[in-house]
Amino acid sequence: METLSIAKSFDGTQGVYRHRSDACQCDMTFAVFLPPQAKDGAVPVLWYLSGLTCTHQNVMDKGEYRRAAVEHGIAIICPDTSPRGQHVPNERDNWQFGHGAGFYLDATQEPYAANYRMASYIMDELPALVAANFPVDMQRQSITGHSMGGHGAITLALKNPGHFRSVSAFAPITRPGVAGWSRPAFEKYLGPDHAAWRAYDSVLLMEDGYRLPELLVDQGKADGFLDDGLRPWLLEDACRRARIPLTLNMRDGYDHSYFFISTFMADHIAWHAARLGSAASS
């Protein structure tokens, strides 16, 4: 693991790191913010999964999470959204596919299967690396994300019951297999058999019996993607039928940007902190 940068913020440490990924067969970059409580022992972890076209840098620069993370003594880990590199298959002129658009799935179709293994990277490889190099308590993990990352956070939590103590999302993509901006990517990554897509669709996972203890979602009513890709009412209906307690906050006037995310980031961190316990608790 290579350290790319270190900066002090709110008496904590914001770092950016790079390592060679076996899962994605390329170099991967990620960010870790450690609150000052980490000097005294392992702290709980909140994963933040970014959306389409983003890297760790977007939320690190615009997400405004550090003050709240220090207040609650939580480490914030921000992975990249996909494998990258000249040898990694990509569609340069398509922002909805390839670099920046990994959809947090494990691709099965060539030529993408060798590199686009973001589900395995997020669930297995990166947590092991983080646990070996940072003072974090991996028995106390939660997950959140935005848009494509909100989709990833919910589906990963559904398929790994008990792994995360809590899950939330900002404007998550719902029913990606039928949404205009994600369906073509699913076809290329997973092939024509729609049965294989169910593993990466929160609504269908709930239909198939997967459950969460509860879910927090914030969604802007002025989001330009609301009717095409997001459709939170489908998630609301799925949670109702699955009897999963859902807090869905529809925010007047807010769009899809980091102005929206940063406004409610502290609320999400506090919500997760209540379920993770403080840095000093067991």
Provide the residue count of the chain: 282
CA distance 145 to 136: 20
Q: Which of 147, 166, 168, 182 is catalytic?
A: 147
Q: Report residue 265 as tokens.
A: 């980031």
* Residue 180: burial class (beta carbons within 10 Å; 0-12, 13-18, 19+): exposed
- Which position among 56, 72, 151, 256 bears the catalytic label? 256
CA geometry: angle 275, 277, 281, nearest 5 deg: 155
Rounded to an integer, what distance in angstroms lies between the CA atom of residue 62 and that of residue 57?
Answer: 8
- The DSSP call for residue 197 is G
Q: DSSP label at 240? A: H
Q: Say whether 256 is catalytic.
A: yes
Assess whether 61 carries a catalytic annotation. no
Q: Which of 80, 106, 201, 223 is catalytic?
A: 223
Residues 6+ apart with CB under 8 A from 149: 48, 49, 50, 51, 54, 81, 104, 169, 172
State both tokens at 43. 């702290």
DSSP string, 32-60: EEE-GGGGGS-EEEEEEE--TT--HHHHH
C-beta of residue 244 within 8 angstroms of C-beta of residue 215? yes
Within 8 A by CB and 6+ apart from 223, the residues are: 171, 230, 254, 255, 256, 260
Would you call 223 a catalytic residue per the annotation? yes
Active site residues: 147, 223, 256
